[in-house]
Structure 1
Amino acid sequence: MTINRRAVKTAAKAFLTAALLSAATVSVSAKDLRIASGLPPLHPAHDPLYTDFKELLSDYSDGNLSGRLFGTEITTLGNMRASILSGMVEVGLFLPAYFPADLPNFNLVGDLSMLGSRNPQVTAAAMTEYVMTCEDCQSEFKKLGVVYTNSHANPYSLLTTKPVIAPEDLDGLRLRTATPQHARWVEAMGGKAVSLPTGEAFEALAQRVVDGTVTSVSDLLSFNLGEVITHITLLDMGTFHSLANHSVKNTVWQGLSVADREALMKASIVANVRTTSRWVQMVEEGKAVAREGGLTILAPSDALISRTDNFKEQDLVDAAASAQDRFGIANAREKIVRFEALVKKWEGLVAESGGNEDAMVALYESEILSQIDLARYGM
């Protein structure tokens, strides 16, 4: 007897999906939320972003909320939008960069990776305050059927198969990028930008489709990139912060009491702060792995730093013009200026507070949550 394993696997997945959907009404009424990051277990945007969030839900709601955490066998980051809208997932990690036409106001500042502070906690908080108080951003999320909670941030550098120290080292280099601004930087430096999801970087590097990737040093751990790159250039490439951490299906959010919405927000904030800290920690761990594996860690030349800084200044003008041409955002420059001001504001707040977890959570509550009426937010 021959067993069709593909058919068995497909049937099993279909059965599990049906069971999840049939339980939707029970889950909402019982406040047992179906949550998913869509990422592998070792990824910081899964652990601690979702593992800690799951535990904190119960703590902050006095047991009134709980979560069932599903893995990539149920959904992935790429199809999270469909999973949330179908109700299969009720809280999930949303990557707005995948939907530039649907979220142009969010991506206007989410794509400004190189404007990010050297301290990613600063960028994460600035991004969160900006989006939560941006009427156009909120309108975009409402049309998509999800409620935004916050964004974390991940510091970026340059990982390559060839040494990069000076500007001329980038000439002709094919580099994988995840954001439009990083792509524009690559092209301005004389390289060729290749847009690929993070999960496809390993194969692209292994097959020499690309010569490097603009990403976090932590990807040596998260995606084993240490096996396919040879050099790390510690050039400050800002942060990746185009993220909506715990996006809640709007009908689920609207079914929660105000107290439970506050509990969910606080659980999300704590998990956010921990995740951003974990990214920073993993950068140092990635450097250690690189040294142990014989990879070369390089410092950029003054010339490369200077050209990159000049690019950042000019690109803010180009980004505003692009947003107006592509998406009709007439006041794009004013919005970018507002985001710049928030980055500076949070640089001061974080410096004064020391930036530890308790201090950061308190700042989120006093500077952001206090501005939000949770009885109306997301409604």
Structure 2
Amino acid sequence: MNNLTRLLAVASLAALAAGTAEARELRLASGAPPAHPATDPMYNSFMEFLPEETDGELTGLMIGPEVVGIVAVKQALQSSLAEVGNVLPLFAAGDLPNTVLTADLAFLATTPHAMGAAVTEYVVTCEECQAEFKAMGGVFVGAGSSDIYVLLTTKPVQSLADLQGLRLRSGGTPYARWAEALGAAPAQVPVSDTFESMSQGVLDGTMASVSDLISYRLVDVAKYIIDVPLGTYHTTSNFTVASGTWAELTPELRADFARAANRSSALFTQSWGYDRAAAARQAALDAGIEIIQPDQDLLDATNEFRFSDVADAVTVAESQLGVTGAADKIARFQALVEKWTGITDAANGDVDAIAAAVQTEVWDKVDWSTYGL
């Protein structure tokens, strides 16, 4: 081997070694079971997109829900057990009141993609939201949305009268308000306990995404789908990065991370909000679950609640969450929902186009040298 060949070989090995040294594997926690869209496609696609967007400088290693369940993601980030996690702000309402404000507006929902994008822009551009994430020890990098919630029950519900006294799992305060306003009895039960609670008769049903039939095996216990529109679950923090980890990334890597997260969030919403919902409905039909179209009195009562609930959301935000200027913030979120409904409707289901719009309208406007710090 001549000197030139030897020097080239040494240089190549050095470059390879340097590249290996620079690569960093981030510990990821979706907090969800393998069948849930938060894991597949959201975190599974993110593990694919992250090295693509960062030229191999960042990769991911998944921590399963048996180690970090959804209610423990925040604590896992704070303890450094996980470095990136799927935080549900409703489980950290005391830490994230200005973010949770958007969750209290579930019944404003138009379409899933619009809701995920609206929450993303709202939190990224909300100074109070950014401050509370920082105080919690995390950085917000995108949201997503479920399909329009319905009732999954063990008893038939056709009319408003059938709803009276029905024991229903509630995933948050707007659902509890709806249940109470219409005569049902809401119960705060972890989503992972829904199957057992329904199978034992503790609950008569749940206000949930129809995809829970698959994700949480409710197809084996539910007997009815009641198609009463109950808004979306759209206040998520899909890729919450531990503050210490975020600070160690260069501005360029933060931007690359956000591009990967944005692509995965769009796939998550497409799956949870559309594809899984369709598959779950087919699974329900195959299992003999009856789909009930409710009577007009139940639909009218729900619609009336939808319009009156905004005023209640202001009261809840100010008196229970301690949010100041709640009315103005709610109006701002309403405007964002309208904006993104127009954008996503124009995309006509093109997930890549929706992700590109969020990238342009939100993430490309971020100063990565200061965001989250």
What is the TM-score normalised by the length of structure 2?
0.92
Matched with 2:156 is 163
Aligned to 1:120: 112
In the alignment, is residue 31 of structure 1 matched against residue 28 of structure 2? no
Is contact 1:120–1:153 with CA below 8 Å preserved after alignment? yes
Displacement of 1:366: 1.2
Distance in 1, matches of 2:22 and 2:319, equals 45
Match of 1:325 among 297, 307, 319: 319
Q: Distance in 2 between the 1:74 and 1:199 partners?
A: 15
Which AA in structure 2 matches 1:224?
A: R
Task: Give the alignment partner of residue 219 of structure 2, picking from 217, 220, 226.
Answer: 226
The answer to whether the 8 A contact 1:148-1:246 is kept is yes
Describe the superposition over 1:28-78 as per-residue Cα deviations: whole angstroms up to 9, x where unpaired.
Answer: 964211111121111100111111101100001111111111212321111
Shift of 1:299: 1.0
Deviation of 1:305 (Å): 1.4
Larger-Rg structure: 2
Query: Which residue identity lines up with residue 256 of structure 1 in the other structure?
Result: L
- Count of aligned residue pairs for this structure pair: 352
Change (3 A) 1:73 1:172: closer
Structure 2 unmatched ranges of 5 or more = 1-19
127, 132, 136: which one aligns with 1:140: 132
Counterpart residue type for residue 105 of structure 2: L
For residues 301-335 of structure 1, the C-alpha deviation after alignment (integer angstroms, 9 at most, x for no partner) is 22211111110111110110121112332311111
Distance in 1, matches of 2:256 and 2:66, equals 28
Listed one character per residue, the Cα deviations across residues 331-357 of structure 1 (whole Å, up to 9, x for unaligned) are 111111111110110111112222312
Structure 1 segment 144-293 matched on structure 2, within 5 A: 144-155=136-147, 156-279=149-272, 280-293=274-287
Deviation of 1:173 (Å): 0.5
Provide the identity percentage.
Answer: 38
The whole-number CA distance in structure 2 between the counterparts of 1:326 and 1:299 is: 35
**What letter is aligned with 1:38?**
G
CA–CA distance in structure 2, aligned partners of residues 326 and 131 of structure 1: 20
Q: Is it true that 1:306 corresponds to 2:300 in the alignment?
A: yes
Q: 1:74 aligns with which of 37, 61, 67?
A: 67
Per the alignment, do residues 328 and 268 of structure 1 end up closer, same or farther by CA in structure 2, a change over 3 Å counting?
Answer: same
Gaps of 5+ in 1: 1-26
CA distance in 1, matches of 2:265, 2:82: 19
Query: 2:22–2:57: 8 Å Cα contact kept in structure 1?
Result: no
* Alignment partners' CA distance in 2, 1:97 and 1:175: 18
Conserved 8 A contact 1:173-1:211? yes
Question: Residue 5 of structure 2 corresponds to which residue in structure 1?
Answer: none
Give distance in 1, aligned partners of 2:322 and 2:232: 26
Give the residue type in structure 2 aligned to 1:249.
A
Deviations 1:194-227 (A, max 9, x none): 0111111001101111101000111111111011
Residue pair 1:28, 1:252 contacting (<8 A) in 2 also: no
The 2-side partners of 1:95 and 1:152 are apart by: 11
Shift of 1:371: 2.4
**8 Å contact from structure 2 (residues 104, 174) kept in 1:** yes
Counterpart amino acid of 2:354? M
Structure 1 residues 337-346 or 72-81, which shifts more?
Answer: 72-81
- 2: CA distance, partners of 1:327 / 1:78: 19
Q: 2-side partners of 1:326 and 1:245: how far apart? A: 25
SS of structure 1 residue aligned to 2:39: coil
Q: 1: distance between equivalents of 2:303 and 2:167?
A: 21
Residue 100 of structure 1, CA deviation: 1.5
Q: Determine the structure 1 residue equivalent to 2:10.
A: none
- Give 1:160 shift: 0.7
Task: Give the C-alpha shift of residue 294 in structure 1.
Answer: 1.0
Q: Give deviations 1:283-314, integer Å, cap 9, x for gaps.
A: 11111111111111011222211111110111
Q: Does the 8 Å contact 1:110/1:127 carry over to 2?
A: no
Out of 105, 122, 130, the position equivalent to 1:130 is 122
